[in-house]
Amino acid sequence: MLDPVILYFGSFNPIHQGHLSVARAAQQYYGGKAEVWFVLSAQNPFKQKADLWPDEKRWKLLLEAIANKPGMKACDVELNLPTPSYTIKTLNYLRQQNESREFVVLIGEDNLAGYTQWKDYKSILQMCKIMVYPRKEENRAENENSKEDQNIYDKNKAKIPSDLAAYTDRIILLEGDLLAQSSTAVREVNIGSDPKDWAQILQWRGSRAEALRQESQKIKEKNVGKNVYLRGLIEYSNYCAKNCYYCGIRRDNSDVKRYIVSEEEVLNAMAFAHKEGFGSVVLQGGEIKDKDFVLKIEKLLKQAMTMSGGQLGITLSFGEQDKDTLKRWREAGARRYLLRVETSNEALYKRLHPSDHSFKDRIKTLDYLKETDYQVGSGVMIGLPWQSPLDMANDLYFFKQREIDMVGMGPYIEHRFTPLYEQRKNIPSLEERYEYSLNMLALLRLLMPTINIASTTAMASLNPKGREEALRIAANVIMPNITPYKYRENYFLYENKLCICESEQDSKEHIEETIRNAQCEVAYFKSGDSKHYFNRLDPKNEDPIL
């Protein structure tokens, strides 16, 4: 004879771990063999509850939660039957459809108390047994709105009310250590797998955004922990051969006093970082490709390796370079490279750059970086003119598809002396760019749990708490500026950039405080390589935890 089918009725709004532990306990009662069908109750069209999510959403989350769970199935029969959906009606229908199966109705202890009010309750008891799970007293009041979702259980057995005394042989009381089970969501936020869904999520604000960010924080802590790695940022030079329409140090901006940090100053800054326990430094600057420049960087890398006994992690960020150059720098000691794609939408990229700049070359360089064994970093700007939420969602898809190991992304911030300044009315407000950026970071962390994510300076320029918030929810890397002071005001990529006047923002004390406020820990003397990079090289490594 077939094992019974346990019908677990509920609104599952949304399904959470508590529901699953009840289902498991019910299965266990039958030696683990019975099936549990989660019967999703419909949204009553005449009595819409503000806190009840739409049927489709609850259904999708339910399916996700029980996928690959043996013996657990989802049942949408009540979504299709006329409402109100009386249990007796659903039961009759299911019995007709499944003549060979025996059914058991699974309900909570509180439902049992009012059971004699149910339509045809005696018939139900004649047709099938009722299985009851105990409820934890103190949680009853908390969730008044969703009684059937009150699945927080007491260790004790439920009691059979006196008006059901005649039916004790038809009532199964579940017991066990269900109390220990958490009632946290299986996934409070359903992110799906389609950039169109992500585009919607990026527009969440208020409590929904906070739920997204909390979920991301959870996934971050599970996968990369609470450590925040320090990368001392050296803005090596503001000479640039490129003319990006958004950037303050573009070639044609004659207002900029150009500089190159001297070899000695770079080495001093690196030695400082090494001594202070920053696991790594980032050398960043405009895009220069001449031989002299290539050799200078190579020499600096070798010196840094000698000075630190190969300990100091070095990240480079000098735009698009030839494969040979990248190989050379990699061999000299660089292990990571940051090359933002700026936007993954090629048409938009074209609008942000002069015609001699090429999106394809940018992508080709990302390929070279992989081929020459760098930890590959990329990123985008958020809140650009002509950029839609779907463009942003596609940026996330781009990082995932191209298996990027580290991401540094942040808001676009206009600069008065750039051509894109003309479009300043066609961009989201500062607050909106900030909100989008946080949602981008959170969603990225959910999509790519093991990558390194930087909390960027641009976040701090939009909001004093920007970097802290980014660290709290998703980022695990921060880049304190260690460029010699005299150069800082000349590396003026965008307006309000934290620079010389706010240099204390990057002091050790301030960075430590930022990290502490973000409920994270400073990882001194740790290089903090991207876990994603190692997983990419050796797929046998552990899967991300979701």
**Residues binding ligand SF4 (CB under 6 A):** 240, 242, 244, 247, 249-250, 286-287, 319
Instruction: Please tell me the distance from the alpha carbon of residue 174 to that of residue 278, in angstroms, as a whole number.
Output: 55
Rank residues 146 and 423 by Cβ distance to ligand SAH and give the closer one: 423
Q: How far is the CB of 489 from ligand SF4 (least distance, A)?
A: 16
- Residue 336 interface partner, choices ligand SAH, ligand SF4, none, CB cut-off 5-8 Å depending on type: none
Rank residues 24 and 357 by Cβ distance to ligand SAH and give the closer one: 357
Q: How far is the CB of 59 from ligand SAH (least distance, A)?
A: 40
Rank residues 247 and 444 by Cβ distance to ligand SF4 and give the closer one: 247
Beta strands in 81-182 (DSSP E): 103-108, 129-133, 171-173
CA–CA–CA angle 191, 151, 15 (5° rounding): 15
Q: In the chain, what are the helix, strand and coil shares in percent, each to the nearest 5?
A: 45, 15, 40
Q: How far is the CB of 359 from ligand SAH (least distance, A)?
A: 13
Q: What is the secondary structure of 261-300 as a DSSP string?
A: --HHHHHHHHHHHHHHT--EEEEEE-----HHHHHHHHHH
Residue whose Cβ sits closest to ligand SAH: 494
CA–CA–CA angle 276, 281, 284 (5° rounding): 145
Rank residues 285 and 389 by Cβ distance to ligand SF4 and give the closer one: 285
- Residue 339 interface partner, choices ligand SAH, ligand SF4, none, CB cut-off 5-8 Å depending on type: ligand SAH
Residue with tokens 């405009």: 286
Rank residues 287 and 373 by Cβ distance to ligand SAH and give the closer one: 287
CB 382 within 8 A of CB 437: yes
Q: How far is the CB of 474 from ligand SAH (least distance, A)?
A: 18
CA–CA–CA angle 119, 123, 127 (5° rounding): 130
Q: Are strands 5-10 and 103-108 parallel, antiparallel or unpaired?
A: parallel
Instruction: Please tell me the distance from the alpha carbon of residue 213 to that of residue 223, in angstroms, as a whole number.
Output: 15
Q: How far is the CB of 244 from ligand SF4 (least distance, A)?
A: 3
Rank residues 287 and 512 by Cβ distance to ligand SF4 and give the closer one: 287
3-class secondary-structure state, position 335? coil
Q: How far is the CB of 475 from ligand SAH (least distance, A)?
A: 16
- Residue 458 interface partner, choices ligand SAH, ligand SF4, none, CB cut-off 5-8 Å depending on type: ligand SAH
- Residue 412 interface partner, choices ligand SAH, ligand SF4, none, CB cut-off 5-8 Å depending on type: ligand SAH
Rank residues 213 and 415 by Cβ distance to ligand SF4 and give the closer one: 415
- Among 408, 377, 389, 375, which Cα is nearest to 345's? 389
- Residue 330 interface partner, choices ligand SF4, ligand SAH, none, CB cut-off 5-8 Å depending on type: none
- Residue 340 interface partner, choices ligand SF4, ligand SAH, none, CB cut-off 5-8 Å depending on type: ligand SAH
Q: How far is the CB of 395 from ligand SF4 (least distance, A)?
A: 17
* The two structure tokens encoding residue 275: 């001594």
Rank residues 115 and 412 by Cβ distance to ligand SAH and give the closer one: 412
Rank residues 71 and 286 by Cβ distance to ligand SF4 and give the closer one: 286
Rank residues 105 and 288 by Cβ distance to ligand SAH and give the closer one: 288
Q: How many helices (H) and strands (E) does the chain have?
A: 20, 17
- Residue 455 interface partner, choices ligand SAH, ligand SF4, none, CB cut-off 5-8 Å depending on type: none
Cα–Cα distances (Å) from 116 to 11, 63, 85, 132, 350, in that order, read: 21, 32, 17, 14, 69
Q: Are strands 5-10 and 35-40 parallel, antiparallel or unpaired?
A: parallel
- Residue 352 interface partner, choices ligand SF4, ligand SAH, none, CB cut-off 5-8 Å depending on type: none
Rank residues 216 and 253 by Cβ distance to ligand SF4 and give the closer one: 253
CB 358 within 8 A of CB 512: no
Instruction: Please tell me the distance from the alpha carbon of residue 522 to that of residue 227, in angstroms, as a whole number.
Output: 6
Q: How far is the CB of 216 from ligand SF4 (least distance, A)?
A: 28
- Residue 58 interface partner, choices ligand SF4, ligand SAH, none, CB cut-off 5-8 Å depending on type: none
Q: Residues in the site for ligand SAH, rule: CB under 6 A?
A: 246-247, 284, 286-287, 317, 319, 339-340, 342, 381, 412-413, 415, 458, 493-494
Q: How far is the CB of 536 from ligand SAH (least distance, A)?
A: 22
Residue with tokens 């479009």: 423
Q: How far is the CB of 36 from ligand SF4 (least distance, A)?
A: 56
- Residue 494 interface partner, choices ligand SF4, ligand SAH, none, CB cut-off 5-8 Å depending on type: ligand SAH
Q: How far is the CB of 289 from ligand SAH (least distance, A)?
A: 11
Per residue in 123-133, is it b (16+ CB within 10 Å) or e — as a string? ebbebbbbbbb
Rank residues 247 and 273 by Cβ distance to ligand SF4 and give the closer one: 247
- Residue 250 interface partner, choices ligand SAH, ligand SF4, none, CB cut-off 5-8 Å depending on type: ligand SF4
Rank residues 490 and 535 by Cβ distance to ligand SF4 and give the closer one: 490
Q: How far is the CB of 518 from ligand SAH (least distance, A)?
A: 22
* The two structure tokens encoding residue 256: 């900029």
CA–CA–CA angle 322, 325, 329 (5° rounding): 140
Most distant pair of Cα atoms in the chain: their distance:
94
CB 332 within 8 A of CB 298: yes
- Residue 441 interface partner, choices ligand SF4, ligand SAH, none, CB cut-off 5-8 Å depending on type: none
- Residue 392 interface partner, choices ligand SAH, ligand SF4, none, CB cut-off 5-8 Å depending on type: none
Sign of CA dihedral 137, 138, 144, 150: negative
Instruction: Please tell me the distance from the alpha carbon of residue 222 to that of residue 33, in angstroms, as a whole number.
Output: 32
Instruction: Please tell me the distance from the alpha carbon of residue 401 to that of residue 536, in angstroms, as a whole number.
Output: 12
Phi/psi at 400 (5° precision): -70, -45
Q: Tell me, what amino acid is at 10? A: G
Q: How far is the CB of 239 from ligand SAH (least distance, A)?
A: 10
